[in-house]
A and B are shown apart, each in its own frame.
Chain A
Amino acid sequence: MNGKLGERVVRKDAFDKATGKAQYVADIRAKDMHYGIVVRSPHHAAKILKIESDSALAVDGVVAVLTSEDIPGEITYGALIQDQPALAHKVVRHIGEPVAVVVAKTKRAAQKAKTLIEVTYEPLPSIQDPVEALEEGAPKVQSGGNLITEYHICDGNLETGFAEADVIIEDKFRVQRISPGYLEPESSLAEYKEDGSLKVWVSSQEPFEDQHTIARVLGIDIEKVHVKSAVIGGAFGGKEDPELQVLAALCAWKCNANVQMVNTRYESFVGHPKRHPAQFQYRVGVQRKSGKIVALEATAYVDTGAYASYGPAVAGILTETMAGAYHIPNVKVDTYVALTNSPLSGAMRGFGAPQSHFAIESLIDVIADKIGMDPLMVREKNILKPGNKLFTKVPLDETALALPICIEKSKEARERLSGIQAPPGKIAGVGMALAMQSMGLGAKIIDTSSHRLEWLPDGRVRIYLGAPDLGQGLATAAEQMAAEALEMPYESIETVFVDTNLTPNGGVTCASRMTYMTGNAVIRAAEKMKKDLLDDAARLLDVDIQSLEYRDGEVLKNDGTRIAVGEITSRLAEEGKAIIEESSFTFPYPEEKTPDHLPIGMPHVMFVFAANVARVEVDLDLGTVEVTHLSTVNDVGKVINRLGVEGQIEGGAATGLGYALYEDVALKDNGQWVDSFTEYLLATTKDMPEIESTVLEIPEASGPFGVKGVGEIVLVPTAPAIANAVFNATGVRVNQLPISPEAILEGIALKKY
């Protein structure tokens, strides 16, 4: 039977995607469809003095120009803090902020009208650095202070810890702003219905939240807002923010029209959230002989841009992972999240962990160099073990056994890769990094995921999947798990994608936990389905229920006869009945694992682990780095679709490599952000190394079939592994991402003199 757990399974939507039939939002055509185009701020900060739209409105086909004055409900929204205006109100706070939307009957009319809208601004002083933003006298981004969140966590006694150390190391690290970089730009189509309701097509990680946000901004009941997921062209965290669906809904509502909105890539760069840039200062105390890290003090400054988005939550995981996967007895970490006049920073794959891991995993190699110990040995001596507590006081369970295996496999990979000679003119180096990534939204945040199963008259089963498949293959995993739970072939399961009118609320697809959540809910629903089936079968066959059992996807009578499920469900259909069961699963935060001294959203209590070993070749004349090999170890709990897991690992490697070497939404000398794929370099076929993957399957007790998660961890160790490999090759430590040829050449030059 195809589709068994752990096999390489071909996803069912692959046919439509391979033939061009798959309908993403921008491919859907509504009747008499209008087009909305956003006018965005060209300033980092400015007062809006006047918006002149008469000449735009005079263009043939233009229906409306909407500004914040046209918003019927709340102007602002936000996942954690409602501070982000749907359209800028009196001021703009970053380049790319939406100021107005023009709605027209044709794309060309909308494009022409956009150029005729005259906005008069009075530029204001602005700030782009999170450390400077917190200094006294810095320009205020919003009306309050620029500090929007701070976290301070202590464990042990720092003074005692440093007193026990004989080596003290201080270092600074800096990571850049990067784009989720999904290929499908943000897009939405809002259809205005004659009954005064809206149907909004989205490319979103959380359609049920979108429904609330749209209702909030329009000031209408959520029952009037029907949100439906189209095929989604990648998300990676970036599609947790609802900017475009809110604006499309506003346009449709105000114009009584069907309105499509699609961002250009420029708009996606400046208008939509990115990975948070951060700056770290570390001070660690180490015992030279034992290699034990006995004290760690670290401060992080996190830049969340002009509005909060998911900044406070991202900074939470960033804070929790600042000591990496290590057991350090004395820890003090302080994190400050600052507003700046920059494009928003929000959720992105890894959610704070990639930032911290670049710092701590680089630092481990710095320690190793300083005390003359093998970097893998330093890791081995300090890793978390089952029963250890993190500095958040969260105890680790048996799943931490993945860490020593990660180190062991990395040793083997290092051995192998170190034997490969570099070509003339280049020097080779090998480096590794460990990683841990939490699963789940965090304690004290409601995290329940509901999904529904229905037995169809022909005996097939339909999943009403309550959470979006972002392209990673959630539906395939759900179908495989439903098939396993119901002892049916994978081919007999189909999926209805998330739709606020049709499916239960499965929550937001994020935090490496959607397969875990969905699987648990589906298994529970399947158990109820089987019981319902036997009840109905007993009634319809007029036999005692004790004489029936469910086996191998059929009903088995105690006289040995087998009855196909379709025989029962088709008779139920004739009665106008069906077997339908909905089930929910709530992410567990067991009391003993959830100390309550931490702020909301903390701590996280379930973890996945990984290691990367990178081999690089550095060109000594150009300073360029080529990653030739990447050996990965990932503990995923249990593989459901092996093709899917491999796809996450390989795709994660590409994003991790881009983070390490190429990607940077930098502020250029001309005052503009890097805002196109010409300057913002995603890894291409030619940049990719040989990838070898080891997948560990250490089962999670609470997981469906032992499943944990794989979506984010895959890229967390990549950038520090590459940085450590560059150091191994050149002796140059680059503490800032992306690792630039200039930094390497400068480092080499400094070493020579």
Chain B
Amino acid sequence: MQKLSITLTLNGENVTVDCVANQTLLDVLRDELGLTGVKDACGGEGECGACTVIMNGKAVNSCMVFAGQADGAEIETIEGLAKGNDLHILQKAFMETGAIQCGFCTPGAIMSAKALLDHNPDPSEGEIKEALSGNLCRCTGYKKMIAAVQLAARGGKADER
């Protein structure tokens, strides 16, 4: 298998990593770079959204991206969201609304939500559902996840409507 070296802007830092041509971005993030916040729940089939990262501003299933395709890309993962203990507003909102139970889908869901809010800071409920529709969750029934994204979109303030 052909070997290659790719360079990513990963959570704001330049990273160069050696990999082989049939490795996915998910493999590289988890196995080569140790970013285990990126989850694999469907066996790399692009079905579950647990491995969602933001690539050049768009939420993608990292298991559906070959490592080579990510060369030169800007990648954001769950690990890059908080600055130390200073959490991103979405992380706080997911915690406070009870949108987290087992937590396995949480990183992917938060990244999908971040990609949405980055482009559309005031999304409708329908737009939130659309943005999270590729993130499977077996625990929460999604209601609190949607509420979390709405809370974050309001800047963390309680709904006064």
A and B: bona fide binding partners: yes
Could you tell me which A residues sit within 8 Å of B by CB distance? 8, 10-11, 13-24, 26-27, 29, 107-108, 180-185, 231-234, 236, 264-267, 470-473, 643-644, 646-647, 649-655, 676-678, 682-686, 688, 691
B100 interface residue per 8 A CB criterion: yes
Contact A688 B141 (CB under 8 A): yes
Of A13, A184, A651, the contact of B41 (CB 8 Å cutoff):
A184
| With A26-B40, A677-B45, A685-B142: A20-B136 Cβ-Cβ less than 8 Å | no
Nearest opposing residue in chain A for B126, CB measure: A686
Cβ-defined partner of B103 (8 Å) among A236, A471, A646: A471
For A654, what are the chain B residues with a Cβ–Cβ distance below 8 Å? 137-138, 140-142
Given A185-B41, A676-B47, A691 contacting B141 (CB threshold 8 A): yes
Given A14-B100, A18-B110, A233-B103: A647 and B144 interface contact (C-beta under 8 Å): yes
Tell which of B34, B50, B92, B98 touches A183, judged by Cβ atoms closer than 8 Å.
Answer: B50
Tell me whether B62 is interfacial, beta carbon within 8 Å.
no
Given A18-B92, A108-B20, A691-B143, 9 extra CB contacts under 8 A: A10-B95, A18-B103, A181-B138, A183-B136, A232-B102, A644-B98, A647-B140, A654-B142, A677-B47
- Determine whether the beta carbon of B102 is less than 8 Å from that of A234: yes
Complex Cα spacing A23 to B134, Å? 23
Closest 9 CB pairs of A and B: A20-B37, A471-B102, A17-B103, A233-B104, A650-B141, A643-B98, A264-B43, A677-B47, A27-B36
Please report the C-alpha to C-alpha distance between residue A673 and residue B85 in the assembled complex, in whole angstroms. 46
Which residue of chain A is the closest to B38 with respect to CB atoms?
A20
The answer to whether A183 touches B102, judged by C-beta atoms less than 8 angstroms apart, is yes
Is the Cβ of B138 less than 8 Å from the Cβ of A15? Answer: no
Min distance, Cβ A372 to any Cβ of chain B, angstroms: 36
A686 B101 Cβ-Cβ under 8 A: no
Contacts of A24 in B (CB 8 A): 39, 104
CB-based contact B129/A685 at 8 Å: yes
Asked whether B79 lies within 8 Å of A677 as measured between CB atoms, the reply is: no
Residue B17 interfacial (CB < 8 Å): no
**Does B105 lie within 8 Å of A183, measured CB to CB?**
yes
Complex: A26 Cα to B37 Cα, angstroms = 11
B47 contacts A20, CB within 8 Å?
no
Q: Among B36, B42, B130, B138, point to the contact of A686 (Cβ < 8 A).
A: B130
Q: Provided the pairs A17-B106, A183-B105, A234-B102 are in contact, do residues A650 and B143 lie with their beta carbons within 8 angstroms? A: yes
Contact at B47–A265, with CB atoms within 8 Å? Answer: yes
> Which residue of chain A lies nearest to B47 when distances are taken between CB atoms in the complex?
A677
Residue in B40, B101, B107 whose beta carbon sits within 8 Å of that of A20 in the complex: B107
Contacts of A183 in B (CB 8 A): 39, 41, 48, 50, 102, 104-105, 136-138
Q: What A residues does B47 contact at CB under 8 A?
A: 265, 676-678
Provide a sorted-by-A list of 23 A–B residue pairs whose CB atoms are within 8 angstroms.
Answer: A14-B94, A14-B103, A15-B95, A17-B103, A17-B106, A18-B95, A18-B110, A182-B104, A183-B105, A183-B138, A185-B41, A185-B43, A233-B39, A233-B41, A234-B101, A234-B102, A471-B103, A472-B102, A473-B101, A650-B142, A677-B48, A677-B136, A685-B146
Q: Which of B35, B133, B138 has the most CB of A within 10 A?
A: B138
Q: Is B117 among interface residues, defined by CB-CB distance under 8 A?
A: no
> Is the CB–CB distance between B102 and A184 below 8 Å?
yes
In the complex, A472 Cα to B145 Cα: how many Å? 15
**In contact, A265 and B139 (Cβ under 8 angstroms):** no
- Closest B residue to A471 by CB, please name it: B102
CA gap between A16 and B128 in the complex, in Å: 24
Query: Would B37 and A184 count as touching, CB distance under 8 A?
Result: no
CA A505 to CA B91, docked complex, whole Å: 34
- Docked CA distance A15–B96 (Å): 10
- Measured between beta carbons, the chain B residues less than 8 angstroms from A652 are 141
Contacts of A181 in B (CB 8 A): 138
Which residues from A are CB-within-8-Å of B143?
650, 688, 691
Question: What's the Cα separation between A266 and B40 when bound, in Å?
Answer: 13
Q: Do B138 and A236 have beta carbons less than 8 Å apart?
A: yes
Residues of B within 8 A of A233 (CB): 39, 41, 102-104
**Residues on A with beta carbons closer than 8 Å to the beta carbon of B132:** 685
CB distance from A717 to the nearest CB of B (A): 15
Does the CB pair A20–B35 fall under 8 Å? yes
Q: Is the CB of A472 within 8 A of B139?
A: yes
Interface flag for B15 (CB, 8 Å): no
List chain A residues, Cβ under 8 A from B134. Answer: 684
The answer to the question of B24 belonging to the interface, with a C-beta cut-off of 8 Å to chain A, is no
Nearest-neighbour CB distance to chain B for A665, whole angstroms, equals 15
Chain A residue contacts of B37, Cβ below 8 A: 19-21
Inter-chain CA distance A26–B36, complex, in Å, is 8
In the complex, chain B residues whose CB is within 8 Å of the CB of A650: 140-144
B140 contacts across to A, CB distance below 8 A: 647, 650-651, 654
A226 to B98, CA, bound (A): 33
Assess whether A685 is in contact with B98, with CB atoms less than 8 Å apart. Answer: no
- Beyond A183-B136, A264-B43, A265-B42, is A19–B104 a contact (Cβ under 8 Å)? no
How far is it, in angstroms, between the C-alpha of A26 and the C-alpha of B26 when the chains are bound?
Answer: 14
Interface 1/0s, chain B 82-94, versus A by CB < 8 A? 1000010001101
Q: In the complex, A684→B143 CA distance in Å?
A: 11
Report yes or no: A471 in contact with B139, Cβ–Cβ below 8 A.
yes
- Decide: B79 and A19 in contact? CB cutoff 8 A: yes
Docked complex Cα distance between A267 and B102 (Å) = 21
Across the two chains, which residue of chain A brings its CB closest to B141? Answer: A650
> How far does the Cβ of A354 sit from chain B's closest Cβ, in whole Å?
15
Chain B contacts of A180 at CB under 8 A?
138
Neighbouring A residues of B104 by C-beta, 8 Å: 24, 182-184, 233-234, 471
Contact between chains at B95 and A676 (CB < 8 Å): no
With A20-B78, A185-B41 as contacts: A646 and B36 at CB distance below 8 Å: no
Kindly provide the distance from the CB of B39 to the nearest chain A CB, expressed in whole angstroms. Answer: 7
* Interface pair A647/B45, CB less than 8 Å apart: no
A688 touches B142 (CB 8 A): yes
**Chain B residues near A21 (CB-CB < 8 A):** 37
Partner of A471, one of B43, B97, B101, B142: B101
Known interface pairs A22-B103, A265-B47; A676-B42 also in contact (CB < 8 Å) = yes
Partner pick for A684 among B87, B128, B136, CB 8 A cutoff: B136
Smallest CB gap from A644: residue in B: B98
Interface contact A231-B103, CB-CB below 8 Å: yes
Q: Which residue of the partner chain A has the closest CB to B22?
A: A108
Q: Are A19 and B82 in contact (CB under 8 A)?
A: yes
Whether B31 sits at the interface, judged by CB under 8 Å, is: yes
Which B residues are in CB contact (< 8 Å) with A16?
A: 103
Q: Which residue in chain B gives the minimum CB-CB distance to A678? A: B47
Query: Which chain A residues border B44 with CB–CB below 8 Å?
Result: 264
Q: Is B31 a contact of A676 with CB atoms below 8 Å?
A: no
- Minimum CB–CB distance for A20 against chain B, Å: 2
> Is B10 in contact with chain A by the CB < 8 A criterion?
no
Closest partner residue, chain B, to A16 (CB atom): B103
Cβ of A621 to closest chain B Cβ, rounded Å: 23
CA gap between A29 and B30 in the complex, in Å: 11
How many angstroms from the CA of A180 to the CA of B31 in the assembled complex? 27
Q: Known contacts A26-B40, A472-B101, A678-B47; decide if A19 and B138 are in contact (CB<8 Å).
A: no
Instruction: List the B residue with the shortest CB-CB distance to A682.
Output: B136
- Supposing A18-B91, A685-B146 touch, asked if A653 and B141 sit within 8 A by C-beta, the answer is yes
Flag if B102 contacts A182 (CB, 8 Å). yes
Identify the closest chain B residue to A234 (Cβ): B102
Nearest CB on A from B110, distance (A):
7
CB contacts (< 8 Å) of A26 on chain B: these are 36, 40
Q: B77 on the interface (CB 8 Å rule)? A: yes
Structural contact, B45 and A678, CB atoms closer than 8 A: yes
**Assuming the A-B contacts A20-B36, A107-B31, A650-B141, are A265 and B98 also in contact, with contact meaning beta carbons closer than 8 angstroms in the complex?**
no
